[in-house]
Structure 1
Amino acid sequence: MQNTALLLVDIQNDYFPNGRMELHETHRAAANARSVLDVFRREQLPLFHIQHLSVQPGATFFIPRTGGEDIHETVAPLPNETVITKNYPNSFRDTQLLSLLHEAGIENLIICGMMSHMCIDATTRAAVDYGFRCTVIEDACTSPNLSVRGRTIPATDVHDAFMAALGSLYADIQTVEVFLQGTKK
């Protein structure tokens, strides 16, 4: 996994049960992300925690100093790990992420996190536009139910549609099991 870094995007308290924006099966997604994180920690590979802070007026979640914006304990950063704060879905927009990846000589990104249809999608597409090869660990990501024209789209369908779209051009879509098997070679 030379020249590879892990991005853990927005695995934050507000997305979990009793949070301000609960998503579908967040504990499962976070546990799978933790399995990937453990590999990067064990192998001492570069990893980046991405933390969204909502600073725009009218924001309803990830509001600073509420506790909901904190990275969830399942994947909480260690003191020596980089945390990049962002204010937009795209983890590269107005952050130091791109320069840090370039400085580290990173060519490949492993991406886990929340929400599949928003920040995972925006970050993955931007990463490819910047020349990175991306792998999204699909079962280490999740989404909420969404609505359109009075119809509710189940979270699993939202997630699957975005994984299919990303997998068609932007990323290799893997399960955590496949990813972990690949690290044992």
Structure 2
Amino acid sequence: MKEALLVIDVQNEYFSGKLPVTYPQGSLVNILQAMDAARAAEVPVVVIQHASHAPDAATFRHGTYGWELHPDVKKRPHDLLIEKTLPGSFTGTALDTWLRNRGISSLTIAGYMTQMCCDTTARQAFHNGYGVKFLSDATGTLNVTNQAGTIRDADLHRAVLVTQQMRFSQVMTTAEWIRSLNLVYS
């Protein structure tokens, strides 16, 4: 089974913008470790970047500092950069074609936001027939309050992980995933 790592929306908006990731601590370090381990194991790395092309967009406006990839992600090698405008990385992009052309049948999810773009992409991947792994400590979120209520970052993150494990993904830590790479690709 050929695998790829998807690094979703690790952009400045989540560090210095209006949507700072607060949970789990250390998620960026784990994302970078996953990228480095994938490269060492010759597992393709796909970096996905969210963009809004609306001139008055409050977040992720194309070309702004918040839209830019985090510098530590930007400087690491990747095999493909995908721009998306909706939560799912497959919607309106060439991701599925690129993966299928390379015989990739399993995807590992890392990045931001756990409950939005990571969750949506994992579900899309599952629905498209891919095996999916979801890195519990290399995805992250924040406290959310809206008309439906308030949920704390840790509770939101855990709820998505539990749901992912029920049907869509194999939830694992970055260290567990790296060990699995060493078993398969060494």
Structure 1 length normalisation: TM-score?
A: 0.91
Gaps of 5+ in 2: none
Is 1:15 paired with 2:35?
no
For residue 47 of structure 1, report the CA deviation from its aligned partner.
1.3
| Match in the other structure for 1:4 | 3
Gaps of 5+ in 1: none
Question: How many corresponding residue pairs?
Answer: 183
For residue 67 of structure 1, report the CA deviation from its aligned partner.
1.2
Contact 2:10/2:112, CA 8 A, preserved across alignment:
yes
Secondary structure at 1:109 match in 2: strand
| Match in the other structure for 1:24 | 22
Secondary structure at 2:62 match in 1: coil
Contact 1:30/1:75, CA 8 A, preserved across alignment:
no
For residues 28 and 8 of structure 1, what CA distance do their matches in structure 2 show?
15
For residues 126 and 178 of structure 2, what CA distance do their matches in structure 1 show?
23
For residue 55 of structure 1, report the CA deviation from its aligned partner.
1.9
Per-residue CA deviations over 1:128-157 (Å, capped at 9, x if unaligned) read 110000000010001111125574311111
Structure 2 length normalisation: TM-score?
A: 0.91
Contact 2:31/2:110, CA 8 A, preserved across alignment:
yes
RMSD: 1.8
Per-residue CA deviations over 1:151-171 (Å, capped at 9, x if unaligned) read 431111111101111110000
For residues 47 and 77 of structure 1, what CA distance do their matches in structure 2 show?
13
For residue 76 of structure 1, report the CA deviation from its aligned partner.
1.7
Q: Percent identity?
A: 30
| Match in the other structure for 1:65 | 63
